[in-house]
Amino acid sequence: MRFRNRSILLFITALWLGGCSGPPALRTLAQDAVAAMGGAEKLQGVKTLAMKGGTGTRLRMGQMVKATDQENPAQLKDVVDIVDLGNGRASLDYALQLGGFMQHRHEILTKKGDKSIGIEIVGTRPIIATTPGGLFSWGTQNSPEFLLRRNVVTIALSAAESASDRQPAIDKELNGKMYKYGTAQTKSGEDLGLYFDPQTRLLAAYEVIDTESILGDVPAQYILSDYKTADGLTLPHHITVRKGGKDYSDVQFVSIAVNDPATEQVFAIPDSAAEEADKAAAGDEYSPMKIVKVGNGVYHAVGYSHHTLIVEFPQWLALVDSPYTETQAKVLFRAIQEQFPTKPVKFVAVSHHHYDHIGGVRTSAAMGATILVEKGNEPVLRPLLEARHTHPQDELDKRRNSQPAQQAGAIEVYEGKKIISEGGQSLELYPVSFPEHVDPMVLAYASSARALFQPDLYTPPAAANGGPPAQHLLQALKQLNLRVDTMVGGHGGIGTFADFLKAAAPAASSN
Ligand SMILES: [Zn+2]
């Protein structure tokens, strides 16, 4: 009884406080935060934000040697993050360094007419266009679309609109400091947790569920600091993102330009990608894809930068790798259905657990394929296949959660070598440790064409010195006693074994 009376008393007090002074209602805090940033009118007038000169770090790239290893952060430099709130466009431009790997990358979500399309510019590769789901980023976010949904102006405005004027804020700690905390919604109805700084009244952090292409639904935390004046607004210049309780990205920007007309040019479609941009704007899903014959019953499905091996059996097909994005996987399966209309994809084997080579595996499972995973790759692949993907919902999540649930392919874990054979065709899978890149890497051998497929160790058809990974690969092929005629790349193209031998020869000493 005592407790019951006490809770009634607390309830009445809360109502009274909500109506009068005392702990401020959440809406008041959210409106104060908007006022501290420059006011609702000015924030609503923001069309473009260009955050420039960023330096920092990025994790959750999935480039570990073993699937269970801790990740090392990549360094981000020259980061320029741009959002165009008026037109639903965004751009992630940055230089990335991870150990000895360096790449300048630029992913752009833009418009062709009223259709959203993606433009991808990576190093010196040809510039390509895709539908938006084909974009994959190692910048501050998983894709430019996230910048649009998670930028501070959009979040602050939706908090001020959706926060309750009845809900009193509670005190909550974050990183050793006390904040006023409460909940609201984004424009699309996602739940937001909001931390307001009681001294500055600014929005110090917010929490939301992010659907990451590999990690699936993860609780994400955006910590906003170093608020400074930029074109009459007060905006955070330091943004720290944590996902699933782990560091994700952390970038300090030098400056932010608001509504700068010069920002426009980043969204222009480059001439060299104009033809592809038309395709991306016309079809349902588009990313570059062509199927090339390797030899008897063996094909190479060539995407933008990450490729697939197709092995044809009498009744069905087996693939090795379904890389990059859900969009690429959809385009891959469409191309396969056109070329092999009577043959379902029965198996998709995974070469290794690096995120850039497994982004289409969930889609492959949704298409009914059994996903063949060597035990060493399981710690990444099993959670990838089991995760929820709700916002937006992907094909696998849709199938599993429809009423009644629809059939989808399952994971099949094997240990050591695995050989699939039927009707004179065989696909042989050999896990080998390559500690210079990944452990294990599953080398895939298609017997009918004497073709060997692997990504990342050697890129066919190069004959130039391939360094230790190529030498190590040659050693492994000798130990496995495989008779190889043709090398097929998870990157690059198709090459002869003779050229691979040149690439795998020890470097001649130059002095
Ligand atoms: Zn790799």
Distance, CA of 112 to CA of 154 (rounded, Å): 23
Give the pLDDT confidence score for residue 405 in this predicted structure.
86
Give the pLDDT confidence score for residue 90 in this predicted structure.
98
- Ligand 1 centre distance from Cα of residue 455 (Å): 7
- Ligand 1 centre distance from Cα of residue 284 (Å): 29
* Angle at CA of residue 157, ends 153 and 163, nearest 5°: 140
Distance, CA of 461 to CA of 117 (rounded, Å): 32
The 3-state DSSP class for residue 378 equals: helix
The beta-carbon contacts of 286-289 under 8 Å, at least 24 apart in sequence, are 286/129, 286/130, 286/131, 286/134, 286/327, 286/331, 287/128, 287/130, 287/131, 287/134, 287/324, 287/325, 287/327, 287/328, 287/331, 288/128, 288/130, 289/328, 289/331, 289/332, 289/335
Distance, CA of 47 to CA of 87 (rounded, Å): 8
- Ligand 1 centre distance from Cα of residue 434 (Å): 10
Kindly tell me the burial class for residue 180, based on how many C-beta atoms sit within 10 Å of its own C-beta (0-12, 13-18, 19 or more).
Answer: buried
Give the pLDDT confidence score for residue 19 in this predicted structure.
47
Query: Which residues, 6+ apart, have CB-to-CB distance to 421 below 8 Å?
Result: 427, 447
Give the pLDDT confidence score for residue 22 in this predicted structure.
67
Domain segments of the chain: what residues?
21-260, 285-503
Q: In what order do the strands lie in the sheet with 425-434?
A: 418-422, 425-434, 438-446, 451-454, 486-489, 494-496
- Ligand 1 centre distance from Cα of residue 403 (Å): 38
- Ligand 1 centre distance from Cα of residue 320 (Å): 14
- Ligand 1 centre distance from Cα of residue 490 (Å): 9
Per-residue 3-state assignment (H helix, E strand, C coil) for 281-325: HHCCCCCCCEEEEEECCEEEEECCCCCEEEEECCCCEEEECCCCC
In this structure, what DSSP letter does residue 187 have? T
Give the pLDDT confidence score for residue 309 in this predicted structure.
98
- Ligand 1 centre distance from Cα of residue 491 (Å): 10
- Ligand 1 centre distance from Cα of residue 257 (Å): 37
Give the pLDDT confidence score for residue 6 in this predicted structure.
52
- Ligand 1 centre distance from Cα of residue 215 (Å): 17
- Ligand 1 centre distance from Cα of residue 280 (Å): 28
- Ligand 1 centre distance from Cα of residue 437 (Å): 6
- Ligand 1 centre distance from Cα of residue 225 (Å): 34
By the 8 A CB rule, do 323 and 308 touch? yes
- Ligand 1 centre distance from Cα of residue 251 (Å): 25
- Ligand 1 centre distance from Cα of residue 457 (Å): 8
Give the pLDDT confidence score for residue 8 in this predicted structure.
52
Q: Supply the CATH classification number for the domain 21-260.
A: 2.50.20
- Ligand 1 centre distance from Cα of residue 188 (Å): 36
Kindly tell me the burial class for residue 175, based on how many C-beta atoms sit within 10 Å of its own C-beta (0-12, 13-18, 19 or more).
Answer: exposed
Tens of pLDDT along 395-405? 999 999 999 98
Distance, CA of 51 to CA of 53 (rounded, Å): 7
> Right CATH number for 285-503 from 1.20.1250.20, 3.60.15.10, 3.40.50.2300, 3.40.190.10?
3.60.15.10
Residues with CB under 5 A from ligand 1 (ion): 354, 456
- Ligand 1 centre distance from Cα of residue 355 (Å): 8
pLDDT tens, residue order, the chain (511 aa): 444 455 554 444 444 444 445 678 999 999 999 999 999 999 999 999 999 999 999 999 999 999 999 999 999 999 999 999 999 999 999 999 998 899 999 999 999 999 999 999 999 889 999 999 999 999 999 999 999 999 999 999 999 999 999 989 999 999 999 999 999 999 999 999 999 999 999 999 999 999 999 999 999 999 999 999 999 999 999 999 999 999 999 999 999 999 999 999 999 999 999 999 999 999 789 999 999 999 999 999 999 999 999 999 999 999 999 999 999 999 999 999 999 999 999 999 999 999 999 999 999 999 999 999 999 999 999 999 999 999 999 999 999 999 998 999 999 999 999 999 999 999 999 999 999 999 999 999 999 999 999 999 999 999 999 999 999 999 999 999 999 999 999 999 999 999 999 999 987 544 4
**Nearest alpha carbon to residue 293 among 427, 491, 493, 459:** 493
Q: What is the pTM of this model?
A: 0.92
**Whether residue 219 has a cis bond before it, omega within 30° of 0:** no
- Ligand 1 centre distance from Cα of residue 216 (Å): 20
